[in-house]
Structures are given as C-alpha cells and as structure tokens.
Chains A and B, each alone.
Chain A
Amino acid sequence: GAVVSQHPSWVICKSGTSVKIECRSLDFQATTMFWYRQFPKQSLMLMATSNEGSKATYEQGVEKDKFLINHASLTLSTLTVTSAHPEDSSFYICSAQPTTDTQYFGPGTRLTVL
C-alpha cells in the first residue's frame, strides 16, 4: 500500500514551453501533497505544500507564477513549470501524506529543458 505515482517519469522540452507533471496517490487519499526539487548529487529542497481545495503554500524563493500547483482532488496534484528554461532542468519529486506522519514519495520526474 501507500503508492505514489508520477507522470511523466522524464520529459524533454524546448525553452519557453510549459510542462505539467502529475502526482497521484494510488491507494490512499492525501489531503496534503508536497513538491520537491533535487539537483544532481544534492538533497531535496521543498518547493511547495499543496492542500486539496486550497492554494499551495510556496517556500521562500520559489516563484509561484513559475511553478503552478493545482491540487484538484484528494489523489491528484499537478505541478506546471511555465515558460521553462534550461535552469529549470532538475529532478522533481512529489510526496503524499495520509493521516499519518509519514510522507510517501513518488518516483520522480526528470525534466530537461533544451
């Protein structure tokens, strides 16, 4: 149980385009989902906290107009990277939290912006 999926697993796009990444909790409902970013050989940096039915809470330094988050249901959150640029290339990981303390992580999405 407690499986979280992400789609796509990898994506390559041209500079200036927008990319949407989906995060789904497959066998549980998640009131709260989190989005992280990870650069090669570095740790995860929290970008934003997403709550179903309300606006996401962004961490300091994260542009909310650049990284649009929608938590449409208790099993789905989406992250849209708008007008992507090469510096947005990274590994994006989501996590979902049921009622327990534990967060369950998705497999990640590798974004490469050319």
Chain B
Amino acid sequence: SQQGEEDPQALSIQEGENATMNCSYKTSINNLQWYRQNSGRGLVHLILIRSNEREKHSGRLRVTLDTSKKSSSLLITASRAADTASYFCATDGSGGYNKLIFGAGTRLAVHP
C-alpha cells in the first residue's frame, strides 16, 4: 500500500513562477526522497533528506521536512518548461533493504 499522499495532484503554472508540491506520510522514516518522472520514462533522483534534517537545497530545488507533521515539501523556483513532469516523494519502509514507498505524485505542467 502507498505510504502517503501528495498534493496537489496536478499543478499548472507559467514559466518563471515557483512550484510547490507537498507530501505526507504515515509512519516513521529514516529518509525521504524526491523523484522526477517524465511521461513514460524512468525516475530521476532529485534529492534525499534525512529524518534529522529540516531543509535541503539543490540548485533550484528546496526540500523541507517536518517529521512532527510527517510531511515534506518540494519547491522548484523560477520554473522552466523543461520542469514539466510528474514528481514523487518516496519514504523508506521498514526492514533492511531500504524499500521505497511512493506517494501518489504531482503532475506539474509549466507553460512557456
């Protein structure tokens, strides 16, 4: 079963605007990761944030993690048309193999 929910399910913005996607999860985690998927393609790893971290940056990406609320957000600043994709958060499950449980995803459309 899926670990969490993401909102919004779909987001449509203009180039240059910021895009914020949220992810909630249900159980304790070691880390949370964000992935990007272009239509019909594989996943690209964007960023990993550990449970003892609150914020992390990578280029135009900013990820926050609030373990008390079991939620995370992904902010893409100064969006570009090439950012159009689906974005998924994934949390590690229990056990020793780092199983990833994916959220439902947010479909982002950036219009030129």
Q: Chain A: residues with CB nearer than 8 A to chain B?
A: 4, 6, 32, 34, 41-46, 49, 51, 57, 91, 93, 95, 97, 101-108, 110
Contacts and interface: CB of A to CB of B under 8 A. Distances in A.
A14 to B, nearest CB: 23
A91 B105 contact: no
Given A49-B97, A101-B31, A104-B45, A110 B104 contact: no
Contact of A46 (B30, B88, B99, B103): B99
B53 to A, nearest CB: 13
Interface of B: 2, 30-31, 33, 35, 40-45, 48, 88, 92, 97-105, 107
Q: Is the interface of B mostly helix, strand, loop or mixed?
A: strand
B42 A34 contact: no
Contacts of B100: 34, 46, 95, 103
Contact of A97 (B31, B41, B98, B104): B98
Nearest to A60: B1
Contact of B97 (A32, A45, A104): A32
Given A43-B88, A49-B99, A103 B104 contact: no
Given A43-B102, A43-B103, A105 B97 contact: no
Given A32-B97, A34-B100, A43 B2 contact: yes
A36 B33 CA distance: 16
Given A43-B88, A105-B42, A107-B42, 16 more contacts: A4-B42, A32-B97, A34-B99, A41-B107, A42-B105, A43-B104, A44-B102, A45-B102, A93-B42, A101-B33, A101-B48, A101-B92, A103-B100, A108-B40, A108-B42, A110-B40
